[in-house]
Each structure stands twice: as C-alpha cells, then as structure tokens.
Copies of this chain bind each other. A is one copy, B any other.
C-alpha cells in the first residue's frame, strides 16, 4: 500500500515572526515595563507559574514592538519596515528555545557539517536571532546546561556580542536584538537555581494567574464555552489554587481551564470534563483527587 506524501508547512526560523495580533489580555503595567526595558535594550526575565501566559506575552510584545519600530523607522525616512514588507502589521522576529539539560552550546550557536566539499558552517538559532535582531526567548532557562547559560553573558552587558568560539569569531548583535528568559520560582531547587552572576543581568517582571473576572474573559474567548461556564471555571480555579497549601504541587493553569471549556463544547458534562482536564491531570494522589472532585461538585451543582 502506497501513501501520498501528506501536506505540511515548513518555515525558516527567521520567517517565524508572529502574524496578526496575538490575543493577550494585560493584567497590570507589564506592557509599559517591557517596552521601557526594550527601549533601553535591558534583557528581561519573566517569572511566574506554569501556564500563566508568559509565552503568549512575549509573542504579543514581539508583535507590538514590531509595529512601533516600523513607525519609528518610517519617521526616519527609511523606505521599508524591518521585515521588508510595506504594511504596518509586522513583528520583531521571535526565536523561542525551550531549555533543557541536553541542549549544547553547539545546538544554539551552530556547528560544522560535513559536506561534499568538506565542512560547512551552519548557524544555530541563537546566532540567527542575534543576526536577525530578534527577541530571543529562552524558556525555563534554569533547565539549561552551564555552557548555555554562560553564552548569554556577553550578550547581556555593554558588549552585546556573541563569541562563536568554534569559528574564532565574534558577532555584534543587531540593534533590535533583545534577550528574554523565563523562570518558574516554584520549581527551583538549590541545585538548579539561576546564578546571581547571570541573574543580575536582567530586569525582572513577575507574573501570576489573572484575577477571576479577567480569567473568565480569557476562558470564554479561547474555549468557546458560555459566559456562565467560564465564570464557574474561573471561580473553581481560585479554589483549586488554594489547595496548594494542602499538598497540590501546582495550581491549575489557565490552559487547563480552557481545556475544560473546550471539552464542554464537545458535549461532555462539566463534571466529566473537569475530571479529565483537572482532577486526573493535577495529581495522582487519591486523597487530593477527592478534594478536587468536591470542589468541582460545589461549583457545578
């Protein structure tokens, strides 16, 4: 049996600019803080729990800063927007890298590949971001290996350079380049903390789950469930997050609440949807599962 090659889309990383305004609901003055830091090209550290919207926030800022940069450049009489397109709806390129302990410096900076004509150099995503003037977003940076952490030092002080040691060369970052990292303070053990010599190179912005009325707005918009259902879920979220004091490892993320909403739009009962997306997901402990089920019953009775 033969099978036709399925359709799929593949992009170069530089092309992965955010297309269209991403949905992001601000909670405080985080937009102003990030913009101020970006204007000064001060690297930014985003702190907060799982699924509270850090990744979405960076996407939104990449889109928003792209718009303003375009305007600024047009005032300067420059003929084209930074991405080469004429309309105003462009973004600063965004390169996102999920950090982990097996990611090597070579994976980030680049490597030599053997070719028919000998070895050829291939830029890694960090090098591409530095050259392209992207926002480079290192997600969960404390999971990275030491050699990765150290790479960002000369990019985050007055030098703004990336040494490419394997080539014996140094790259000066594009004017628009900014490094941004994220970090979940609830996770860190003494073993895997961010070193002060790294940490003190950033301005920090702390995130938390949104307040209930804003979270309900987000759930309804993202899941397509009813306003009443969304409000109930936001109410439930507050109660669930309080269980952290009783042994729950981490509170329910907004993402999980949206999952419940989406399962309900598929005709699955609220109780069953909460069981699959919240109760069974958040813990394996029968005791805690019972406490969670009681909260679900209390809200959806």
Contacts and interface: CB of A to CB of B under 8 A. Distances in A.
Interface of A: 1-16, 29, 32-33, 35-37, 39-40, 42, 45, 47, 50-51, 55-56, 82-85, 96-105, 107, 112-119, 122-125, 128, 130-133, 139-140, 143, 145-147, 149-151, 153-154, 157-158, 163, 165-166, 168-174, 184-185, 187-188, 195-197, 199-206, 249-250, 252-253, 255-256, 259, 262-263, 265-268, 272, 276-277, 280-282, 284
Contacts of A100: 146-147, 149-150
Contact of A263 (B51, B203, B250): B203
Contacts of A35: 266
Contact of A6 (B32, B115, B132, B196): B132
Nearest to A51: B200
A9 B174 CA distance: 8
Contacts of A168: 12-13, 122-125, 128
B281 A202 contact: yes
A102 B2 CA distance: 32
Chain A contact residues: helix, strand, loop or mixed = mixed
Given A165-B124, A268-B36, A276-B205, A8 B99 contact: no
Contacts of A4: 84
Contacts of A104: 102
Contact of A45 (B10, B117, B201, B281): B281
A172 B3 contact: no
Contacts of A29: 272
B6 A133 contact: yes
A217 B199 CA distance: 24
Nearest to A188: B284
B145 A102 contact: yes
17 contacts: A10-B171, A12-B170, A13-B163, A13-B170, A40-B262, A40-B263, A40-B266, A50-B197, A102-B145, A114-B118, A139-B153, A140-B197, A157-B255, A187-B197, A196-B250, A200-B250, A201-B255
B119 A205 contact: no
A276 B99 CA distance: 23
Given A102-B146, A146-B100, A196-B50, A8 B171 contact: yes
Contacts of A114: 114, 118-119
Contact of A249 (B117, B196, B201): B196
Contacts of A185: 284
Nearest to A199: B281
Contacts of A119: 113-115
A99 B8 CA distance: 26
A9 B171 CA distance: 6
